[in-house]
A and B are shown apart, each in its own frame.
Chain A
Amino acid sequence: MTYLRPKFRHPELPKNKLGYSVDKYEGALSTLCAGCGHDSISAGIIQAAFELNIEPHKLAKLSGIGCSSKTPAYFLSNSHGFNSVHGRMPSVATGAAMANRDLTYFGVSGDGDTASIGMGQFVHVVRRNLNMTYIVMNNGCYGLTKGQDSATADRGSKNKSGEVNLFQSIDLASLAIELGATFVAQSFSGDKSQLVPLIKAAMSHPGFAFINVISPCVTFNNNLGSTKSYDFVREHVEATATIDFVPEMKEITANYEKGSSKEVKLHDGSYIQLKKLAEGWDPLDRLSAMNAVQNARAKNEILTGLLYMNPNSVDLHELIETSNKPLNSLKKSDLCPGSEALKAVNAGLR
């Protein structure tokens, strides 16, 4: 019986700049169904955190309830974690981020946790541009309660018992763009070559970075007629561009046809390099991003890759001018600056 993962790793595993090999970013052995897309996304998160040289104790992973929200147990065991109430991860994340701006915030949610019970929280965390990465592991069904259609199940999609979904689906990526998210991407759990650079870019983005990842439920929603099965997604996936995340400015040597490649600089000096851009799409232009998503939908395609980003993102801390130090590092002298300072404040109000 194997409930434990062997401790041995490949003897030649590379180390990142911190001297850690990728196994330092692993978590416990997954208890999700064998073949669950969520496990692939977890592996993508592990890889991204490893490649970004993130110190595990400088990251907080937050989640709500559901299969997706169980996954933080399966990656980054050495990081902070908070498994919140169903659909309430955004408020916990907001509170944590307000208190300690020095951590990297990584939220994991599912289609139920975000598009149903947590919708009220989701829309507000988007419009506030909280500096966090928010991944939805989207399988179009409630896997934890045996596969009922969720709010992201497409109209006409057939579930495992043969029932056809009658309702319109909520398109989370469109909604995020609409609400002013400053980084919106879409991906597929079965394509790590796209997913890992997207997660890395999202984690480097100063502001709310949203990734909607189609992640097939292998037990309840991988049947013929489902629009969230491995086969269907593979057949209907269309990428905006191939993406590379370049940690620091290097001379770009690859030669691409003019107009077919684009570099987007992030605040920390890193780059997102996009190649083979889809026609008529500009990742920095919200309208063209919305058009691209809608056009793809009309063609029954699933558009993946980076959809939109605003390189001039102003995150919540900057917007409301919070303390530039984590609250736990403030000294008494910062918190009680003395009567002279109080006088100055009062004088300002006269």
Chain B
Amino acid sequence: MRKTLLVLAVLVLIVGTAFGQGKLQEVQARGELRCGVNQTLPGFGSVDAAGEFEGFDVDFCRSLAAAVLGDANAVTFRALSAQERFTAVQSGEVDVLIRNTTFTLSRDTTVGLNFTAPTFYDGQGFMVRTDSGINTLADFEGRSICVQSGTTTELNLADVLGALDVQFTPVIFESAPQLVSAYDDGQCDGWTTDKSGLASFLPTLGVPSDHRIMDATISKEPLGPAVLHGDDQWYDVVKWVVYATFAAEEYGITSDNIDEALESPNPQVRRMLGVDPDQVQGLGLSADAMYQAILQVGNYAEIYDRHLGPDTQFDIPRGLNAPYTGGGLLYSPPFN
């Protein structure tokens, strides 16, 4: 029933889009971007004491607003729960979803989303107590594992441990904070979620040094922005703003030196920053869109370091999230 209605809603919206204006024009006319984010995932999306949203995902919302509207603050953040996030995109309540959402096939098809390039390559891992004697996945035989409902992690856990024929007891929770408290109280032997999540919650445990993150990674979790399927122009805009942050890091352009980069002889840089305006204008944006995004929010490395880097308490190694030139997966197609 709910599914039918959702499909209906999506259809109505798709038809509406086809006959009306696209999301890009809608956002520009409105003068603000509506961005769906998390407010309870430290490092990625949270609300500070002054009531401002902050985090890695939040900064990509700001980049997008800077590119589309010229103002990184022209964003209305809509805090979404894991359960309602997709319907919020389908019903048009948010223009873009940047809420640590894993890119999967079914979300691309049945749910009706389009994912841009992943902004964060994550993988599902496990946290255990150092004295638990659990070193490999097989050691979970007969043990219990805490997991959050409504997420891909729950499915992966069943898939992978099922394939290994490991009998374990899943202990399921509705929200991450409840889960962490339960694990900390010893209600389960292990706790599984994306490794970034494990790293960010580790400092909140009673005695952090009593716990460790296992080496095993059991899934691919590419997290990235998603928009509603069926509006190609808007999809292109979101996608290329993300690429611009990658490319800026690759070419060494930061928010500090970007004005010098405007003099760069590199044709890629000139096209991206709008010195040669045709490419960026082809997206339906003003020529300085990417310039504004990088000037106001920064390149990928700046965003990463601000929220997850060595100067933060999370200090998550770049790993797969390094540029391809540094052994990672961040690779922007050329701005030709």
A and B are interacting partners: no
Interface of A toward B, CB cutoff 8 Å:
none
